[in-house]
A = this chain, B = another copy of it.
Amino acid sequence: MKNLFVLTLLLMIFGSLCRAQHQTVIEDFKPSSVNQPGKEYPQVNSEGRVRVQISAPEAHKVLLDISAVKYDLVKDEKGVWTGESAPQDEGFHYYQLWVDGAAVPDPGSLYFYGASRWGSGIEIPAKDQDFYALKNVPHGQVIELPYFSKTNNSMRRCFIYTPPGYDKDTKKRYPVLYLQHGGGENETCWSAQGKAGLIMDNLIAEGKAKPFIIVMDNGTWSMARRPAGERPAEWPPKGWADGFAKTLLEDIIPMIDANYRTLADPKNRAMAGLSMGGMQTRAITLAHPEVFSHVGMFSGGSISPEDVEKAPDFKKNVKLLFISYGSRELENPRRGNSGDPKENTAKLKEAGMNTHFYVSPQTAHEWQSWRRSLCQFAPLLFKK
């Protein structure tokens, strides 16, 4: 009798917990802004939950897999599975579905390259989304260009943003930002999920940034996977960025300067990147401060006073050093070889360098941090 009472009590508690959990889901879901044309799902609600739906009548288990957590979907009588995630941070996230053990893209979403695959992406509407909204303002172009790389002896592809009016006034020349993606990403990312073109169009329309060209190439590093087993004493290994440095300095920059109306001098040349692209920016600009004058690293480490001491031309040549992170990254800092990024930036400022440190509020190692970083970085570029 006592056991029955305990069991009843437990069932009641469990039931109310389930209801409580269910009640917390606010039923104001809307299709994501990056759905395929005409697709009703995936959807997002005002809490930032992601709800997906897929017809899989013969399946036994379907999961939504987002931000490293898997959520069970529930099947209805027609064989349609539906379910939602916990609230997600604002901005863009990669995700996938699991259908009876098969990891597949959601047929409802547009596809983006990340995590070394083309797969589903979703937008959680952000309070500050206006800065990358598609508006009726003058727009630049995003150019896809195949080119031959001598250093790789192969064809490559880059994307080039040219600002509004580039093709109208064919006398004007522009500064150039070389802007790199992260690990497991490629040359499409900054324009697609990064919305680099829209960010620049909006900044330029508001008079907040000087018009410049952005070159987005593929910096995939062939040894980007850490060897299995113990962590090597030095990671990434010495010279890891040399391959892309050679391609950038010997192929990409000369090709861009020869074919586009650039201001082809170091004063008008910047490099920036996110995560792995930030680490490449660090390695390449410290080794070649005679080539770049403006440097940005988004969630990709920092440059210390010691680094600068070892590369004396860096301090002399670099007019701007911009370091940024998502706030959630700083809650659990994984400090690189160069120490605390905020401290480094402050010390270099004291030492007379024009440094900026930016933290994206309530975002992690994600695209919303990097969109915001570009939006903060671009107005500081090529000021004179």
Query: Chain A residues in contact with chain B, CB under 8 A?
Result: 36-38, 54-62, 79, 97, 99-105, 107, 110-111, 116-119, 134-136, 139, 141-148, 155, 160, 167-168, 170, 186, 191, 197-198, 201, 220, 259-261
Verify B60–A58 contact, CB threshold 8 A: yes
CB within 8 Å for A79 and B55 given contacts A116-B38, A143-B141, A144-B142: no
Verify A136–B118 contact, CB threshold 8 A: no
List, in ascending order, chain B residues with CB within 8 A of A186's CB. 37
Copies of this chain assembled into the complex: 2
Verify B59–A118 contact, CB threshold 8 A: no
CB within 8 Å for A100 and B58 given contacts A116-B37, A146-B134: yes
CB distance from A82 to the nearest CB of B (A): 13
Task: Give A105's nearest chain B residue, CB to CB.
Answer: B105
Q: A136-B155, A142-B145 are in contact. List 19 more A-B contacts (CB 8 A).
A: A54-B102, A58-B60, A59-B100, A59-B102, A79-B101, A99-B99, A99-B100, A103-B107, A105-B107, A105-B111, A107-B119, A111-B118, A136-B148, A139-B147, A141-B143, A141-B160, A143-B144, A144-B191, A146-B197
List, in ascending order, chain B residues with CB within 8 A of A100's CB. 56-60, 99-100
Verify B260–A167 contact, CB threshold 8 A: yes
Q: How far is the CA of A171 from the CA of B41 in the complex (A)?
A: 49
List, in ascending order, chain B residues with CB within 8 A of A111's CB. 105, 111, 118
CB distance from A305 to the nearest CB of B (A): 39
